[in-house]
Amino acid sequence: MAARFPPGRLAEVAGYFLRLGITAFGGPAAHISMMHAEVVNRRKWLDNQRFLDLLGATNLIPGPNSTEMAIHLGFLRAGWAGLILGGLCFILPAVLVVTALAWAYVRFGSIPEIGSALYGIKPVIIAIIAKALWDLGRKAVKGPLTAAVGIAVLVLYFLGANEIVLLFAGGFAVLFAASIRRMGKGDVAGFFALFAGSGLPALGVVPFSLPVLFLVFLKIGAVLYGSGYVLLAFLRADFVVRLGWLTDRQLLDAVAIGQVTPGPVFTTATFIGYLLGGMPGALLATLGIFLPSFIFVAASFPFVQRLRGSATAGRFLDGVNVASLGLMAAVTWQLGRASFVDPQSVAIGLVSAVLLIRYEVNATWLVLGGAAAGLVHMLLQ
C-alpha cells in the first residue's frame, strides 16, 4: 500500500480537502461541483466516468453525499489513510466554526441582536429548503408511482408514522412495484413491527444522556438518504417530539447556523450536541452522525462498478429519494409555521425565494442578508 500511495499523495489529499472545507459554501451540489472541477479537470486524479461512478455510489448509501465523495476521493488517491484524512479534513473546518458559534449562541443567545439576526435568517432558511425541495423533486419524481409514494409519505408522516419506516417502505414500494401488485396485511404488519421500537409517539421530557445523544445521531447517520435538508425530519422527530430536548425554535436556529458556515450541513449535529451537552456533546454528536459514512464508503468502494449497473439498487434508491422528499416537505411546512410570524418575516421569505429562483443568488449571501434584515427590523421597532 505504501508503494502504491506515496506519502506526498496523503499530504495532497489533506491539503486539498482542508482548503475545500474552509471555502465550500452552497450545499452538497456546490461542493461536488467544486470537487469535480478540481480533481477531474485540474488535478486529473480520475476521469469523468470514474467520478460519476463514485457519485452514483454515494447516492446508494446513506449519509451526506459531499462528505462521502470526499471520503471516496481520498481513498482513491491515497488508500485507507486518504479515506480517513480526506473525510476528516473536509469536515473539520465546519465543526470548529459551528462549535464556536454554538458557544456564542449559548453564551449570548439572549442578546437582542442575536435574536433579531435569527429572526431574519429563519425565513431565508425555509425559502432555501423549499427551493431545494423543488429542484430535487423534479429529478426524483419519475412517474405516477414515485409521485404517489412521495404524497403517501407526506400524509403518513402527518398521521404519526415513523420516518425510518416511511423511508425504507418508500424504497421497497418502488423496488417491488413491477412484480408485486398487492402485499398481504400480515406482511405489512410484520414489516412495520420491525421498527416498532422506534415509533413516533412522544415520550415526554426524557432526561438528557450523552450515550443516548450519540446513539440517536449514529442512527440518523446510518439511515438518512437524500438531501442534507432531510436531516430536519429526523432531528425534529427525535429531539423535539420523542425526547423533548429541543424546541422548534432551537432546531431552526441550529439549521440557520449550519447554513451560514462552510462544509456539510450535517454539522448541524455539532451545534445541537454543544447546545445539549457542551463540548462532550458536540464531539459525540459529530462522531455519531459522520461515523457511518466512513464505514459505508469503506465497505462499498470495491463494489462501485457493480452498484452502478444494478437496476435493483437504482429502483430502491428512487423510492428512498422520493420518500425523503415527502419527509422534507412535511417538516418544511411545520418549521415554516414557526418562521413566518408576521408580515415582515413573510416578506423576507418571499424576497429570498425570488432571488433564489430568478437570480440564483448564492444561499450564503441570502442568509447574511436575512441576518441584516432582522437587525434592521429591530432598529426600526
**Tens-digit pLDDT profile for residues 279-327:** 999 999 999 999 999 999 999 887 765 665 677 777 887 887 788 788 8
Check pLDDT > 50 for residue 195: no
Residue 265 has pLDDT above 90, yes or no: no
- Please give the mean pLDDT across all residues of the chain: 82
Rounded to whole angstroms, the Cα distance separating 190 from 173 reads 15
Mean per-residue pLDDT, 22-34: 73
The answer to which of 45-59, 81-95, 208-222 has the lowest mean pLDDT is: 45-59
pLDDT in tens, 125-134: 788 778 877 8
Residue range 176-182: average pLDDT?
55
Mean pLDDT for 233-248 is 90
Does pLDDT of 200 surpass 50?
no
Instruction: Report the C-alpha gap between 206 and 41 in whole angstroms.
Output: 51
- Position 15 confidence tier, pLDDT thresholds 50, 70, 90: very high
Cα of first residue to Cα of last residue in the chain, in angstroms, is: 65
Torsion, Cα of 127, 337, 170, 73 (10° steps): 40
187 pLDDT higher than 50:
no
Q: Higher-confidence residue: 367 or 144?
A: 144
pLDDT at res. 198: 45
With cut-offs at 50, 70 and 90, classify the pLDDT of residue 121.
confident
pLDDT of 111 higher than 70? no
Q: What was the pLDDT predicted at 315?
A: 80
State residue 205's pLDDT score. 64
What secondary structure, in 3-state letters, does the chain show? CCCCCCHHHHHHHHHHHHHHHHHCCCCHHHHHHHHHHHHHHHCCCCCHHHHHHHHHHHHCCCCCHHHHHHHHHHHHHHHHHHHHHHHHHHHHHHHHHHHHHHHHHHHHCCCHHHHHHHHHHHHHHHHHHHHHHHHHHHHHCCCHHHHHHHHHHHHHHHCCCCHHHHHHHHHHHHHHCCCCCCCCHHHHHHHHHCCHHHCCCCCCCCCCCHHHHHHHHHHHHHHCCCCHHHHHHHHHHHHHHHCCCCCHHHHHHHHHHHHHCCCCHHHHHHHHHHHHHHHHHHHHHHHHHHHHHHHHHHHHHHHHHHHHCCHHHHHHHHHHHHHHHHHHHHHHHHHHHHHCCCHHHHHHHHHHHHHHHHHCCCHHHHHHHHHHHHHHHHHHC
Mean pLDDT of 37-41: 85
Q: What band does 98 get if pLDDT is binned at 50, 70 and 90?
A: very high
Helix axes 311-339, 248-260, angle to 10 degrees: 110
Q: How confident is the model at residue 181 (pLDDT cuts 50, 70, 90)?
A: very low
Residues ≥6 apart with Cβ < 8 Å to 182 = none
pLDDT at 183 over 50: no
CB-CB contact of 167 with 340 (8 Å): no
- Report, as an integer, the average pLDDT of 5-14: 85
Over range 62-78, report the average pLDDT: 91
CB 245, CB 239: distance < 8 Å: yes
pLDDT for position 80: 92
